[in-house]
Structure 1
Amino acid sequence: MKVQGVVLSCVALLNAVLAQQSLIDRLPDCAAQCFEVALPMTTCKPDEINCLCIDIEFQTAAATCNAANCTVIETLSATNTTRAACGIPIKDASDTMIGVTAAFGGLALVMVIMRLIDRGLSAQAKLGWDDLLIGLAGFSSVVQNVPVFVAGRLGFGKDIWAITPSGLTASLKWLYVTYFMYQVAEALCQLSICAFYLRIMTDPYTRKIVWVLIGLVTCFGIGNTFAMIFNCMPITYFWDGWKGEMTGTCIDIRLFGFIRGGVEIALDLAILTLPLPMLYHLQMSTRKKLQIMSMFCVGFVITVVSCLRIHGLIQFGQTQNPTYDNVPGVYWCVTECNLFIVVACMPAMHAILQRALPSIFPRSRNASGYAQGQYGSSGPGKGSYFSQSDRRQKSGSNFPFGVITKSTDVKISREDRSDSDVELVDRPPYK
């Protein structure tokens, strides 16, 4: 028994020595030297890896030495090696980032395709500027989303010390594309909604407001895009600067994000709330009114997502693990844009659902077949916010312009519709 105990003790001691030696051998030279320098700061024995792993004073001394004497790549390699030796698992949020992007990006793409196909095949309506702009926004969102998938597969989303240097550089290159295409896609989506308003609204004052919004969105979108493209000088500093091997400067991305986010939320609210008062005063059933207004109210979810994205900026630049901690900032960014596209396509989806599911999404007509009234003054077609034709009722006599049939027509793109349908579905061409 004594011999067996001695043998076991020797084996345990040998394993500890080998573990220490193996750890030192796997560390970069500068980190191995720092390991030796930091040993006097601990009461743990050199072969007690588990003890060293929980000794905060030793860990701090070694990390300080690494930061002063090692390159960034060597420091990350040493961190990964020591954390692996201590049995600390690698955190990985890349699947979450990819999954969220795929879900909302796929939904946005499907809705854009359905909208364009429906508009292109419709005999009552023609493709307009709003359709063209949403098509460009959909394409831009694809260019925005795909780099997120690639960056996730390259390692972005894991602890920064667990990513290879080449993988980290490549993932940042791909995300660079995501960041500036996000600016492009969101501006195009906002312009599409404004173009949609121009097509359906006839009130001069409201149309002036829409044109002002178009000007603001255009200037803001162009400014944001160029600010993102040239946020670092040289541009390559965006994906190579982390190595600490080149000189360059970048704008304060947190300050830029806060200012941009505040203006973006203000523009979103202005665009999304513009039609609500007019929709509220339309003469239709409460159910129909709520159904239409709810499509626009869904857009307020975008404001919530924008706030979440801004909240993610709080820790941006303050973390030592940016590839993991900044994952929410990435997926909230692309989700905001994809949701905006979904909201912009909802009126078109309403038209498709009316044809596919008429029992659930009926058209607003009363029992006699008459379309319901308009919002505005009592004169036919006057004072209305929405495009529509003059309306008359049959009285049994001839009017100066001929006999009027017993039907109430609200014509948009030469199809009988009620106010609650036409302005959200088949829209007249621009005048």
Structure 2
Amino acid sequence: MHSPWILCFLFMSRVAVTPVWGQLDPLATLPVCAQKCLASSFANSICDPLKDMSCRCNNGTQQLIAINCFSTSCTARETLTTLNVTTVMCEVPVRDRSGLYRTVNSVLFTLSTVAILGRFYSHFALGRLQLLDDGNMALILVLNILMFTLTTMMSFTGLGQDIWKVSFKNIRLTLLYFWISVPFYGIEFGLGKIAFGLFYLRIFNDSGFRKLVWFVIVFTLLYTIAFAFLGTFVCSPVSYFWWQWDLGGEHKGKCLNNNTIGFVTASFSIFTDLVMLGLPIPQIWALHLSTKKKVGVLFMFSIGFFLSDDFLDTSLWSLIEIYVGIICVCMPSLKLGIQFFCPKILHSVMSTSRYTGSGRTGGNIAIHRSVQVTIGSYPTKPQTEEQGSTVELVEIVGDAKSTPIHERSQCETNNVEQGYLPG
């Protein structure tokens, strides 16, 4: 039996063996083991598969029996050579999705990179850079570039094609690039989840909630490191990962069970996705926002949460999940930048809201101060009941001594509100 290389690679690659037809019958070029498999598989058929093309190409049941025989009786190279010859003889359509893969990959990489750069610009221009949060996003940007480079190279060496239509050399190269990308993918994916946690720390000040967020961040970091380690040393020696497909070759080694590792890492990933998605729900629901706005905010957080059961498109969906997660975590900062520098695009600023509180007096309490609404990394100054409380997934960095509104620039004034909240 072949090792699990088929499971992780067959669905997205193909290996080309270019036969030299000349004046020979193509079937005569088949390995002896393949010819024996064809003969035995069609033993109960009324036709000869080695002579009757219609018999060989139109009998699906016997074809499956023959393919199973190839995989157990022939080497990997012999099996792929046989599949290449027989699919050409039977005029099976050539499948190549590498172009679609590159297009989707390029578009989403560009959008996610622009989102990260826009986030950096907004934070820098508004003086909101934070070492931990923005440093984490800088690492994500570097890993994003590396992942895009590797996956693009894979699309030119076999990713998205039938494995029997790719050269033996390119099978090895594609598996090598895949092995390199596994730890990068795991780390980038983990840092993306951590970015959500760091964002929560920016906007929520409840001490109990912050401790819970830090616990989830540390847990995510630890399992991310473990995943990257397993992905790197899944085979012994590590080079066996990109040589294991050639079972008839001289390379020897062993690998951990890919299915078990995949199930465990996927379970941890889905668990942390659900936790990260669920963490802010109680905090958001406690805000004095309309139900429509609460649902909108929750939807923004959930955009980065993707699950796909389409095994054929696992590689592409894995990239989409990362790219969309990056864009999602950058959305609040991008909105802040647009709101501050180009307020006319949004027409209005985010309406002020507040946490539900206790000990309020009756009547209306005026907020006699200028409040600049922004996403910041500075601690919120304690407020009295007379000052009110203003929170909408952002921090308040103004106080009673803020510059009067009439002295601010027109662009900045659009980001300032004076309001009245019912007591």
Is the TM value for this pair above 0.5?
yes
- Is 1:335 aligned to residue 320 of structure 2? yes
Q: Is 39-48 or 407-416 further displaced after alignment?
A: 407-416
Partner in structure 2 of residue 104 of structure 1:
108
Distance in 2, matches of 1:38 and 1:19, equals 28
Partner in structure 2 of residue 8 of structure 1:
none
Partner in structure 2 of residue 362 of structure 1:
348
1:337-358 residue CA offsets vs partner (Å, 9 max, x unmatched): 2222122111112212323344
- After superposition, the Cα gap between the structure-2 partners of 1:258 and 1:135, relative to the gap in structure 1 and judged at 3 Å, is same
Partner in structure 2 of residue 420 of structure 1:
392
C-alpha displacement of 1:135: 1.9
C-alpha displacement of 1:73: 0.7
1:77-120 residue CA offsets vs partner (Å, 9 max, x unmatched): 12111110111122223233333322332221111111112212
Matches within 5 A, 1:148-297: 148-244=151-247, 245=249, 246-284=251-289, 288-297=293-302
1:180-231 residue CA offsets vs partner (Å, 9 max, x unmatched): 2111001111222222222332211111111111211111111111111111
Match of 2:83 among 79, 95, 119: 79
- After superposition, the Cα gap between the structure-2 partners of 1:154 and 1:426, relative to the gap in structure 1 and judged at 3 Å, is farther
Same amino acid, percent of matched pairs: 24
Structure 1 residue identity aligned to 2:133? D
- Is 1:23 aligned to residue 8 of structure 2? no
Distance in 1, matches of 2:184 and 2:29, equals 41
- After superposition, the Cα gap between the structure-2 partners of 1:119 and 1:37, relative to the gap in structure 1 and judged at 3 Å, is same
Partner in structure 2 of residue 52 of structure 1:
56
Distance in 2, matches of 1:204 and 1:177, equals 40
Distance in 2, matches of 1:284 and 1:39, equals 71
Structure 1 residue identity aligned to 2:27? I
The question of whether the paired residues in 2 share the 8 Å contact of 1:115 and 1:345 is answered with: yes
Partner in structure 2 of residue 118 of structure 1:
122
- After superposition, the Cα gap between the structure-2 partners of 1:66 and 1:426, relative to the gap in structure 1 and judged at 3 Å, is farther
The question of whether the paired residues in 1 share the 8 Å contact of 2:372 and 2:397 is answered with: no
The question of whether the paired residues in 1 share the 8 Å contact of 2:288 and 2:355 is answered with: yes
Distance in 1, matches of 2:67 and 2:207, equals 66
- After superposition, the Cα gap between the structure-2 partners of 1:38 and 1:347, relative to the gap in structure 1 and judged at 3 Å, is closer
- After superposition, the Cα gap between the structure-2 partners of 1:133 and 1:426, relative to the gap in structure 1 and judged at 3 Å, is farther
Distance in 2, matches of 1:258 and 1:361, equals 47
Partner in structure 2 of residue 10 of structure 1:
none
Distance in 2, matches of 1:426 and 1:47, equals 83
Matches within 5 A, 1:270-419: 270-284=275-289, 288-299=293-304, 302=305, 305-306=306-307, 308=308, 311-312=309-310, 327-355=312-340, 356-358=342-344, 360=346, 362-364=348-350, 373-377=354-358, 406-407=368-369, 409=371, 418-419=390-391
Distance in 1, matches of 2:240 and 2:221, equals 28
Distance in 1, matches of 2:333 and 2:270, equals 24
Structure 2 residue identity aligned to 1:422? V
Distance in 2, matches of 1:280 and 1:236, equals 51
Distance in 1, matches of 2:112 and 2:359, equals 40
- After superposition, the Cα gap between the structure-2 partners of 1:421 and 1:225, relative to the gap in structure 1 and judged at 3 Å, is closer
1:30-69 residue CA offsets vs partner (Å, 9 max, x unmatched): 5457667778664335543233323457646755664455
Distance in 1, matches of 2:278 and 2:71, equals 52
Structure (1/2) with the larger helix percentage: 1
The question of whether the paired residues in 2 share the 8 Å contact of 1:93 and 1:327 is answered with: no
Secondary structure of 1:420 counterpart = coil
How many residues align? The count is 361
Secondary structure of 2:190 counterpart = helix
- After superposition, the Cα gap between the structure-2 partners of 1:214 and 1:373, relative to the gap in structure 1 and judged at 3 Å, is closer
Distance in 2, matches of 1:374 and 1:34, equals 72
Gaps (5+ residues) in structure 2? 1-20, 382-388, 399-423
Distance in 1, matches of 2:147 and 2:73, equals 39
Distance in 2, matches of 1:164 and 1:364, equals 57
The question of whether the paired residues in 2 share the 8 Å contact of 1:288 and 1:420 is answered with: no
Partner in structure 2 of residue 43 of structure 1:
46
Secondary structure of 1:242 counterpart = coil
C-alpha displacement of 1:26: 3.7
What RMSD in Å do the two structures reach over aligned CA positions?
3.5
Secondary structure of 1:126 counterpart = coil
Q: Is 227-236 or 98-107 further displaced after alignment?
A: 98-107
C-alpha displacement of 1:29: 5.5
Secondary structure of 2:25 counterpart = helix
1:367-409 residue CA offsets vs partner (Å, 9 max, x unmatched): xxxx654544458xxxxxxxxxxxx968xxxxxxxxxxx4254
Partner in structure 2 of residue 130 of structure 1:
133
- After superposition, the Cα gap between the structure-2 partners of 1:33 and 1:374, relative to the gap in structure 1 and judged at 3 Å, is closer
- After superposition, the Cα gap between the structure-2 partners of 1:272 and 1:361, relative to the gap in structure 1 and judged at 3 Å, is farther
Gaps (5+ residues) in structure 1? 1-17, 313-325, 366-370, 380-391, 395-405
TM-score, normalization by structure 2 = 0.74
Mark the structure with the bigger radius of gyration.
1
C-alpha displacement of 1:19: 10
